Structure 1
Amino acid sequence: MIKITFDVAQGRIHSFTLSGHADFAKKGSDIVCAGVSAVTFGAVNAIESLTDVIPEIKQSGQGGYLNCVIPEDISESSREKVQLLLDGMLVSLQTIEHDYGKYMKIILRQ
């Protein structure tokens, strides 16, 4: 199962961690894994490309691990842009979870 934990404070996502594998289908055919990967990596790439923010990223191919932390020392304008992108990512992941909740779980940690 893929677990995605969002650290949220004051209504803002400060970081997220993704780990595990969906095991929906064999490697290379797993649409849940592909969807989650596309949404999360797309959001990280969008943050880097569309804002002046470079998140702190830790990644491992083993265990499907990705940790993304948004720096605290960014402008309010950048923070708003980053938050919008992260909110969009969360909505997309919740859409996947709605149909494939047996294979992934989203945790909002306040």
Structure 2
Amino acid sequence: MIRIEFYKNGDMLTGFECKGHAGFADSGEDVVCAFISSACYLAANTVTDIIKLDARSSDADGYMSLKINSSPEKAQDILIGLVLHLTELEKDYPKNIKVTITEV
């Protein structure tokens, strides 16, 4: 299962951590993994390379994170959109995706 934890400080989303494997299909053929990876990369790259916020992202096999260090208000539309996208996928694939929001 892929677990995506979003971090929230008050009304502001400040980042996310995505861990695990969907287990929907074999590696390289898992469309659920591809859906999630693509969406998370789009959000992280937009925050770091397009909006150019002070943020740190990292990734490895089965792992991705984004932590916004300053001005998280500038990334709210992107992060809220990512939450919406992933929670809709979670409805379709409840055995493969778990989305949570944690107050930090």
Task: Give the alignment's TM-score, normalised by structure 2.
Answer: 0.90
Q: Describe the superposition over 1:48-74 as per-residue Cα deviations: whole angstroms up to 9, x where unpaired.
A: 24313142112222xx111210013x3
Letter in 1 for 2:53: V
CA distance in 2, matches of 1:103, 1:52: 32
CA distance in 2, matches of 1:9, 1:80: 11
Q: Describe the superposition over 1:33-89 as per-residue Cα deviations: whole angstroms up to 9, x where unpaired.
A: 00000110011112124313142112222xx111210013x3xxxx33311111111
1:92 aligns with 2:90: no
Name whichever of 89-98 and 40-49 sits farther off: 40-49
Which residue pairs with 1:27 in the alignment? 27
Identity of paired residues, percent? 31
CA distance in 2, matches of 1:99, 1:20: 18
Task: Give the alignment's TM-score, normalised by structure 1.
Answer: 0.86
Higher strand share: 2
Q: Describe the superposition over 1:9-36 as per-residue Cα deviations: whole angstroms up to 9, x where unpaired.
A: 2121112111000010011111110000
Q: Which ranges of structure 1 fall in alignment gaps of 5 or more residues?
A: none
1:106 aligns with 2:99: yes
RMSD of Structure 2 on Structure 1 (CA): 1.3
CA distance in 2, matches of 1:90, 1:108: 9
On the 8 A contact 2:12/2:73 being kept in 1, the answer is: no
CA distance in 1, matches of 2:79, 2:43: 7
Which structure is larger by alpha-carbon Rg, 1 or 2? 1
- Number of equivalenced pairs: 103
Which contiguous aligned blocks of 4+ residues in structure 1 show a shift greater than 4 angstroms? none
